[in-house]
Structure 1
Amino acid sequence: MSVVKINAITVPKERFEEFAERFASRAGKVEGAEGFEGFQLLRPNDEREVCLVVTQWRSEDDFTAWVKSADFAAGHAQHREGGPIGTASEIWSFDVLETKAAADA
């Protein structure tokens, strides 16, 4: 059963662009991680200031291995070097019970 990990990061609206730029220039190694199934970066289009980093993994063990990897550390170096953009963050974890995709047109 797949798992979804969501990093809910509070980002001041005036720093949304900087937040997106950091993700665009990240190491990008997650795509090759064992068990990685998908990634989405979501920015609110309403009054909220919580951006979501959504990843899907084949298993909890695959996610844990990624977090402990050198590639994870390299991908988060910007945070250590440039300081945080977010003012708070929280990790949410979910089991995927059902998935549907749009039918091809």
Structure 2
Amino acid sequence: MSVTRENVEYIAQLARLSFTSDEAERMTQELNSILHYVEKLNEIDTEGVEPLSNIHDQKNVLRDDVESPSIENAQALKNAPDRQDRFFRVPKVLG
């Protein structure tokens, strides 16, 4: 399988890209180089190799969800730089 210059120009049009003549030629060569490499990978014998979705053999790395008491409002606001009543006060971000 190989890519022609017309293929590159068509893909560039779909992606709303514009290439000079030299750039289109270079892209054609680079894409053909990539496809040649992929063809080399297809030559590798993978008989008996199990598909792999992750290189680590861990099943579940998340901790169990354990209920715990909440922090008191006064304790949460203790180190707040600015507050109003029982809320954190922050700078306005919307106009």
For this structure pair, what is the TM-score category when the shorter chain's length is used for normalisation? under 0.3
TM-score for the superposition, normalised by structure 1? 0.20
Higher relative contact order (CA 8 A, sep 6+): 1
Whose strand proportion is higher, 1 or 2?
Answer: 1
TM-score for the superposition, normalised by structure 2? 0.22
Larger Rg: 1 or 2? 2
